Chain A
Amino acid sequence: MRQAGATVESLRRRERGDGTRPPHPLLPLTVRGLGFWAGERWILKDVSFHLPDATRTVILGPNGAGKSVLLRLCHGLLRPGTGTISWGGLTPQNAASGQALVAQRPVLLRRSVKGNILHALKVRHLPRAQRAERVRATLALAGLEHLKDRPARTLSGGEQQRVTLARAWALRPNVLMLDEPTSSLDPGATRGVEELIRAVDAAGTKIIMTTHDISQGRRLANDVLFLHQGRLIEHAPAGEFFAAPSAPAAAQFIRGELPF
């Protein structure tokens, strides 16, 4: 039964308290027979999977495996060549307003840190009266208060990526997608970004992120989608996958034998 006035957030918070699985408006994510090609070349072929829970799903695989394309198809930025994507019954285009994307290279507007977050809230039509408080809470969570008036693009790479993550989290998305969010960061900055991802996850947000970094996969994944040459080779809980991957290509990748 749906209560009037209950936001997804409030439902989520209440039900997390007693340890039960929160209801998630965009789950399960069901992908069937997904294919995508650019010109003559297949980027993805016959990808099917089912993600029922608001856990941290890591799309793992070497560069060029089709990870970013899969993420963008799920977010509705690209149209599938074949197959279907369903977010709890919604098309990716209709589900996109409940999602946020963090790209590999931070795309920051030529404004202050605060201005960047405000802009995103405005575009997503958050009522004016709520914006200031949302910005404040977001900056606090991300530990960015001291940088709030700095022009975003003059920050260091790690700070910039934390700003894009904070900006995405400010939208309170049901699903947060991250495309290789730390691939150009040093270990310290990577740790900062990963901590923030965990904080967002703790709030009940579904996390889907791509990485080619096996140890990052180990640190963050609840379950792993292993992509290789445009095909989904294996989908398994993280523990099983890293202990004993069933597909030979996945085993090779974990041993570092797969050419990147």
Chain B
Amino acid sequence: MNDFSDAFWAALRLLADLDPDLLEIVALSLSVSLSATGIAALIGLPLGAAVALIRFPGRRAITIFLNAMMGLPPVVVGLVVYMMLSRAGPLGELGLLFTPTAMVIAQCILITPIVAALTRQTVSDLNEEYEEHLRSLGADTTQRIATLLWDGRFRLLTAVLAGFGRAVAEVGAVLIVGGNIQHSTRVMTTTIALETSKGNLAFALGLGLVLVTVAASVNATVTVITDAASRRYG
């Protein structure tokens, strides 16, 4: 028990002192996960909207596929990206393995299906309500997609935040493709795993506190946005 409270106070001191090693890791973590989330949103939002609104053969299969991919195991994503990027792999020449870029790619693959599937659901629900009005107005496909994305903006923002929450807390994929290299590819989750196994509980706990705060604020933000939006727009 003493160990634990010692580690806790040491962790708080690291945070209070703005320990540079710790800050570096937090910064890389956020920049990797935010980049992955940004790219996932750019792909997932229009993809989800298109699957919801455009009728084409195989649409149902894609819907099922996206929903199934929401539960991708991170280590498997890591393994696949590793095989693609490793020297012998098809993208080996790019030399991306064990770089932050590789980590962005892995997280992006992990969360794009989440953003797309949640977007599809949101847009499809909204479309059920708006369809007749938009058809009566004579809206074309672009106008329909734009209308539904804008009117679903708050729910879509929560979809994107859900993707970010998953990316920032994930450990398996970034560990495999990033390699957890000091001053290069260490993020919060992988460092916590490493430092814990080395017995450096203070450092692990300090990062743990930051990670919990980030994850909790993301979820709190989602709740606040959803509440405010439904109160304001009904």
Contacts and interface: CB of A to CB of B under 8 A. Distances in A.
B112 to A, nearest CB: 26
Interface class of chain B by DSSP = helix
Interface stretch (B75-83, B85-93, B136-144): B136-144
B234 interface: yes
Interface centre among B136, B143, B151 (most CB of A within 10 A): B136
B234 A110 contact: yes
Interface in A135-166: 151, 153-154
A123 B130 contact: no
Given A75-B136, A77-B136, A123-B138, A109 B234 contact: no
Nearest to A100: B136
A16 B139 CA distance: 32
A151 B232 contact: yes
B198 interface: no
B137 A124 contact: yes
A110 B233 contact: yes
Interface class of chain A by DSSP = mixed
Contacts of A107: 129-130, 132-133
Contacts of A65: none
A54 B130 CA distance: 29
A103 B151 contact: no
Interface in B94-146: 129-130, 132-139, 143
A110 B135 contact: no
Contacts of A191: none
B128 to A, nearest CB: 11
Interface in A76-112: 77, 96-97, 99-101, 103, 107, 109-111
A100 B132 CA distance: 11
B147 interface: yes
Contacts of B229: 110
A107 B139 CA distance: 15
B143 A123 contact: yes
Contacts of B147: 109, 119, 123
21 contacts: A77-B132, A96-B138, A97-B138, A99-B136, A100-B136, A103-B133, A107-B129, A107-B130, A107-B133, A109-B130, A109-B151, A110-B151, A111-B151, A111-B233, A119-B147, A151-B233, A151-B234, A153-B234, A154-B233, A154-B234, A171-B137
Interface of A: 75, 77, 96-97, 99-101, 103, 107, 109-111, 119-120, 123-124, 151, 153-154, 171
